[in-house]
Amino acid sequence: MPRHLIDITDLTVGEIDSLIATAENILDNPGAYCDVCARRQLATLYFEPSTRTRLSFESAMLSLGGQVLGFSSADSSSTAKGETVTDTVHTVSCYADIIAMRHPKEGAPFAAAQVSEVPIINAGDGGHNHPTQTLTDLLTIHRERGKLSGFTIGFCGDLKFGRTVHSLVNALSRYSGIRYVFISPLELKLPRYVKEHSLKNRNIPYEQTTELSAVLPELDILYMTRVQKERFFNEEDYLRLKDSYILTPAKLSDAKPDLSILHPLPRVNEISTAVDRDPRAVYWKQVRYGKYIRMALIMFLLGLTPEKETL
C-alpha cells in the first residue's frame, strides 16, 4: 500500500517536524537535492484551476531532477467525457510514480487513494482540506517564529469554506501553548466539526469574534483568508460578505512590531497591496517556502533521500 497525504493528520508530528527540517536543509543546500527524483514522474491532476499549488508542485519535482505530466482543468481530461475520478486516477497511477490532485468535490482525494497504486497528495479538495498548504504554513511559522508553539494566532476571513484554515488548525492543535482567535462574519464561522475535532476534543480553548481591530494587538500571527466566490451557491451572499475584512497599513498601526502576516493566496482585496511593503507581511516568503516543503514531501512519499556525500 502506498503512503498518501489526504489529511494533515496522516502525518505524525515527528514526520511533520522532519519534513520541516528537510525543507530548511533544501533551502540552505538546494544543490544536494537536484537529482533525488531522477527518472521519477509526478502527475499533477487539476480538476479545478490553480496557479500556485500546481506550479509549486511542478517546480518542486523539476528541482528534484524529476519530470511532470498532467492536466490543469477538468475540461482537458476524460472527466469531460463523464469518467469518474477514481477511473482517471487509477489510469494515471499506471503511468506516474506519484500524483498531486486538486478537485472541487470534497473527499475526491480520499476516493482516489482507494484505487491508486502510487502515493496521492491532496492538493486541495473543495472547502475541505489542503494539507500541503498547511505544511507550507507550518514551515513559514517555523522560519518566522523559530518554533511551532507558544504564540497567539488569529485566523481572519472565510473560516467556513477556508480549507487551509481547517487543516492548519488541525495541525497546530497537536502542538502546545497556542492561543486561537477566530475572526469572521457570523455566516463564515469555523465549522463545528473543526472546532470539535481539533480543539474541543483536546480541551484547547479558543475565542471567536467578528471584530479584527479589537484583537489585532494581541496577535503574534495573523492568518488572513479570501472570501472565496467559488464556494458560494448564492452570489448575493458572496457580495455581501466579500469585503468584511480589509487589512491596511492604518489598521496595522496597533499590531505588534513582530507580527507575522500569512495568507495562503490568491488574495482579492482583503490585504491592501500597500501592506506588502511592511516587513511583517510574510506571504510572499510563504509562497517560496511552498516549493521547498513540497520537495521534502515528494521525497518522503517516494522514500527517497539525497546521497549522503552531497549533503
Partner 1 sequence: MNIDSIRDGVVLDHIQAGKSMLIYRYLHLDALDCSVAIIQNARSARMGKKDIIKIDTPMELDLDVLGYFDANITVNIIRGGELVEKKHVEPPQRLVNVIRCRNPRCITTAEEQLDAIFLLSDPVRHTYRCAYCDTATDKTFPDVRT
Active site residue 54: no
Query: How many angstroms separate the CA atoms of 225 and 168, rounded?
Result: 12
Residue 233 C-beta: closest distance to partner 1, Å: 8
Active site residue 229: no
The number of beta carbons lying within 10 Å of the beta carbon of residue 288 is 12
Give whichever of 111 and 190 is closer to partner 1, judged by the CB atom.
111
Choose the catalytic residue: 22, 44, 53, 132: 53
Cell of 14: 515527528
Give whichever of 128 and 294 is closer to partner 1, judged by the CB atom.
128
Cell of 104: 472541487
| Spatial contact of 181 and 204, defined as CB atoms under 8 Å apart | no
| Spatial contact of 55 and 29, defined as CB atoms under 8 Å apart | no
Give whichever of 23 and 159 is closer to partner 1, judged by the CB atom.
159
Active site residue 130: yes
Residue 86 C-beta: closest distance to partner 1, Å: 7
Among candidate residues 46, 25, 45, the one with its CA nearest the CA of residue 36? 25
Query: How many angstroms separate the CA atoms of 122 and 105, rounded?
Result: 12
The residue ranges that bind partner 1 (CB under 8 A) are 84-86, 103-108, 110-111, 125-128, 192-193, 196-197
Active site residue 53: yes
Choose the catalytic residue: 128, 130, 166, 263: 130
| List of residues 6+ apart from 100 with CB closer than 8 A | 42, 43, 44, 45, 53, 54, 57, 121, 123, 132
Residue 292 C-beta: closest distance to partner 1, Å: 29
Residue 102 C-beta: closest distance to partner 1, Å: 13
Task: Name residue 197's beta-bridge partners.
Answer: none
The DSSP output letter for 127 is T
Query: How many angstroms separate the CA atoms of 44 and 23, rounded?
Result: 21
Give whichever of 151 and 161 is closer to partner 1, judged by the CB atom.
161
| Spatial contact of 68 and 42, defined as CB atoms under 8 Å apart | yes
Q: Phi and psi for 225 in degrees, rounded to 5?
A: -135, 160
- Name residue, grid cell 522560519: 143
Give whichever of 104 and 185 is closer to partner 1, judged by the CB atom.
104
Residue 194 C-beta: closest distance to partner 1, Å: 8
- Name residue, grid cell 482585496: 269
Residue 201 C-beta: closest distance to partner 1, Å: 8
| Spatial contact of 183 and 156, defined as CB atoms under 8 Å apart | yes
Choose the catalytic residue: 40, 102, 163, 263: 102
Active site residue 81: yes
Query: Cα dist. 286→53, 211, 266, 290 in Å?
Result: 12, 26, 12, 6
Give whichever of 110 and 238 is closer to partner 1, judged by the CB atom.
110
Q: Which residues are catalytic, by number?
A: 52-53, 81, 102, 130
